[in-house]
A and B are shown apart, each in its own frame.
Chain A
Amino acid sequence: MPTPPAMPVLDADSARFIGGGVSIIVSSRNAANVPELVRAQGCRVSRDRSRVQLFVQAAQAQALFDDLRRNGRIAVVFTSPSTHRSLQFKGDDASIAQARPADAARVAAYREAMVVELGGIGISEAMARALLAGDDDTLSVVAFTPAAAFVQTPGPDAGRPLEPVP
């Protein structure tokens, strides 16, 4: 496993961005390099910004979990539905854990933020809630260390490495 970078890949502004009302898509791949993906339901950034936790419905992510348990390779995209601002983080140490009771509140707050955000682009509240529906007791946590970050906002610049602002 590579040494964690001295400075976290995630700067303060990006940490704020990914912790808000943004769509989160998590991706993995299996031994044959076949990719897999799932929508997450919120995230938490560690105080030192070195670790990111993603909340995922276990029922939706069995293949993803199998992949991550085997090889830890992960890519996550965070996108603002209204501005299309988008960041992608990659890592190779993803692990899976059961959510703690406190995480449910975090997910609930995320759903509220997304209802507002999606409402801004004309998605009804019922749609937004259905999209993010799930059970608190099957909530899982995918945690990883972002080792690389990329600007993913649509356009010719998409894919450019993010230069963290210390």
Chain B
Amino acid sequence: MNLDAIRECLDGSLPGVMATCAPDGTPNVAYLSQIEYLDGDHLALSFQFFNKTRQNILANPQARLLLIHPQTAAMYRLSLHYLRTETEGPLFERMRAKLAGIASHIGMGGVFRLKGSDVYRVQAIEQVPGRPLPPAPPRRNLLAAARHGAQRLAAAADLESLLEAMLASLREDFEVRHAMVLLLDGGGRKLFTLASCGYEQSGIGSEIPLGEGVIGVAAREGTPIRIAHMTSEYAYGRAIREAVAQGGEADRLETEIPPPGLAESRSQLAVPIGAGRRLLGVLYVESPQDLRFGYDDEDALVTLAAQLGLAINLFRDAAESAAEPAPAPERRRRVAGPPVTVRHYAENDSVFFGDDYLIKGVAGAILWMLLREHEAGRSSFANRELRLDPRIRLPDISDNLEARLILLRRRLLERGACVRIEKTGRGRFRLCVERPLQLVDVPAG
């Protein structure tokens, strides 16, 4: 029997128990707070205290583990051999994030602190004789869901429909109600929300620094993080949402978009989206239910995220090499009504419509450049020219311009701004302005 076959046992609500033996022959029993599946032959246990178990396995690497299947109550005994302890890197970070979830679930938030991830080889697995329950049929076949999701992604024609396909698959194939897709900012220090579903506020354009919270840690370490219970330590988004809600000092210009997120999130799964060895972003799902996402959900989403990453890269290149001819210049409609003042703060490229904050950073710089061009009489643009425009200062040659435009288009739509971006063809779009604008540039102080 392989560890794959019983990995549900590793994060059931009935904890595993480990027996070790001191060199003098005294056995010892300890409950485990965390068991992490590595592969069919290896697992890792959390090392939090210099306790008897720790002393024993350093002196005598042989251990036995007793696990309970969370649905059938079948018991399994595993023979383990201690190999090494990892104190940094993806495994350690994954376990640290999970441990925070487990610890806060059982009221041990301040007590549990991961010192290391103890890696063991599984030498044998034996089912303990007993009378387990028959296994219940799975909620759904996740392999079929992944296949259907892969077909949706494959059918997408551009980045925007790709994101829609991903969210539709989560909703309909996986019955996941709350999800978001974040992309890495070209500078590689933060992620921005590009698409979401299931939240009152979409949070599109909100930013999460690398290394912050479940999403930021998953991105920094390039490893999926799955948390089965609510955690406060990693609830970065919630802290920001609260700060934003309580802030709003009158003289301060608010330029934070609150990240979307469930106030009472009880299960979370953050999966890095990559292409080759490069990190592109994070796919994140959450649920108000405990233990909502299992190993199989993680496998399915990691598989889809791999396809998503390749497709994101493909569309990025395609949008800018588009050779479609520019549409014939059209006559611009006359717009009426009182003018709207649009301010641009050069300091952080933030743009305000009247008093309403819209966007900042690269997307803000793009919008400002488009508005200036529009003022000069242009309304049709190509993605490619944006990359070359010195006013935009893209942080990286590989920056996903198409993603910035989607973000900008959605943000304008959401805020009901009097400016819209309309796609006119592959790699081309038009700026539609519905009110007279008065542009005010505020230079950096």
Bound CA span A73–B77, Å: 20
Q: At the interface with chain B, which of A11-19, A43-51, A82-90, A105-113?
A: A82-90
Bound CA span A75–B14, Å: 20
A35-B63, A36-B64 given; A88·B29 CB < 8 A: yes
In the assembled complex, 10 residue pairs joining A and B whose CB atoms fall closer than 8 Å, in A order, are: A33-B62, A36-B19, A37-B29, A60-B129, A73-B25, A73-B26, A73-B27, A86-B31, A152-B30, A158-B51
Contacts of A79 in B (CB 8 A): 31
By a beta-carbon cutoff of 8 Å, the part of chain A in contact with chain B is: 25-29, 32-39, 57, 59-60, 71, 73-77, 79, 81, 84, 86, 88, 90, 121-123, 126-128, 130-131, 133-134, 152, 154-156, 158-159
B64 near A35 with CB under 8 A, answer yes
Contacts of A27 in B (CB 8 A): 19, 27-29, 64
A37-B66, A154-B111 given; A74·B129 CB < 8 A: no
B23 near A33 with CB under 8 A, answer yes
Q: Nearest 10 pairs between A and B by C-beta?
A: A130-B73, A35-B19, A133-B131, A37-B19, A27-B19, A77-B29, A131-B73, A75-B27, A29-B21, A27-B27
By a beta-carbon cutoff of 8 Å, the part of chain B in contact with chain A is: 13-14, 17-21, 23, 25-31, 33, 49, 51-52, 60, 62-64, 66, 68, 71-73, 75, 77, 79, 106, 108, 111-112, 128-133
Summed over the interface, the residue pairs from A and B with CB atoms below 8 Å come to a total of: 123
Measured CB to CB, the nearest residue on chain A to B129 is A59
Measured CB to CB, the nearest residue on chain A to B68 is A131
Measured CB to CB, the nearest residue on chain A to B54 is A159
CB distance from B378 to the nearest CB of A (A): 62
A130 near B132 with CB under 8 A, answer yes
B108 near A154 with CB under 8 A, answer yes
Bound CA span A77–B60, Å: 20
Contacts of B111 in A (CB 8 A): 154-156
Bound CA span A121–B31, Å: 16
B130 near A130 with CB under 8 A, answer yes
A59-B129, A60-B128, A154-B108 given; A35·B17 CB < 8 A: no
Bound CA span A74–B21, Å: 10
CB distance from B54 to the nearest CB of A (A): 10
A130-B132, A154-B33, A158-B51 given; A29·B66 CB < 8 A: no
Bound CA span A156–B54, Å: 13
Which of A35, A76, A86 has the most CB atoms of chain B within a 10 A radius of its CB?
A35
Which of B31, B62, B73, B77 lies in contact with A77, CB distance below 8 A? B31
A34 near B64 with CB under 8 A, answer yes
A90 near B62 with CB under 8 A, answer no
Bound CA span A126–B71, Å: 10
